[in-house]
């Protein structure tokens, strides 16, 4: 089960395994956009660990040039809920904790999306890095941020 509550908008995003994801009681799905240049992404900026800062800034520069834009909402859980309901096409960030991503990652998966670590693997809950998306996640070489 995964739950993310958007306090500002009073929206409850929730899902149970092998069932659809919902915002309040309405079923949600990932975006059907499959072109990076038409996609809107979100990220966060880690403020304690800067060992990947330069590489991260390079990825952001690339995505600024190749996408419709990048947003920073301030909550990985909300970013993931927005990917799950199609408001965003993708989200990536590093230096994350399990409580930042567990519920939202599950929502994305139940809504038809993909969640990986930056190398395309499955260590996104405890690996401190996450890449989530809908159709654009399949663009591996283009969307998986840090190789």
Q: Say whether pLDDT at 143 is over 80.
A: no
What is the average per-residue pLDDT within 122-135?
92
* Nearest C-alpha neighbor of 131 from the set 121, 119, 117: 117
73 contact partners, CB below 8 Å, separation of at least 6: 42, 79, 82
The rounded percent of the chain whose pLDDT value lies above 90 is 62
Q: Which of 4-13, 38-47, 76-85, 118-127 has the lowest mean pLDDT?
A: 38-47
What is the average per-residue pLDDT within 41-51?
77
Three-state DSSP class for residue 144 = coil
What is the average per-residue pLDDT within 48-70?
79
Domains of the chain (ranges, CATH numbers): 2-29+49-143 (3.40.190.80)
Provide the mean pLDDT of the chain: 88
Position 147 scores a pLDDT of 45
85-94: pLDDT as tens digits: 999 999 999 8
Q: Say whether pLDDT at 124 is over 90.
A: yes
Q: DSSP 3-state helix, strand, coil percentages of the chain (rounded to 5)? A: 30, 25, 45
């Amino acid at each position: 089960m995964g739950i993310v509550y958007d306090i500002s908008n009073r929206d409850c995003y929730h899902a149970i395994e092998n069932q659809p994801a919902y915002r309040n009681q309405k079923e949600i799905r990932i975006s059907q956009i499959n072109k990076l240049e038409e996609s809107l992404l979100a990220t966060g900026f880690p403020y304690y660990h800067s060992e990947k800062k330069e590489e991260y800034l390079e990825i952001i520069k690339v995505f600024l040039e190749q996408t419709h834009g990048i947003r920073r909402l301030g909550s990985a859980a909300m970013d993931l809920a927005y990917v799950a309901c199609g408001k965003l096409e993708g989200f990536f960030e590093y230096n994350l904790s399990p409580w930042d991503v567990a519920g939202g990652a599950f929502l994305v998966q139940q809504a038809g999306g993909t969640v990986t670590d930056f190398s395309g693997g499955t260590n996104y809950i405890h690996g401190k890095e996450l890449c989530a998306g809908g159709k654009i996640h399949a663009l591996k070489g283009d969307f998986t941020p840090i190789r």
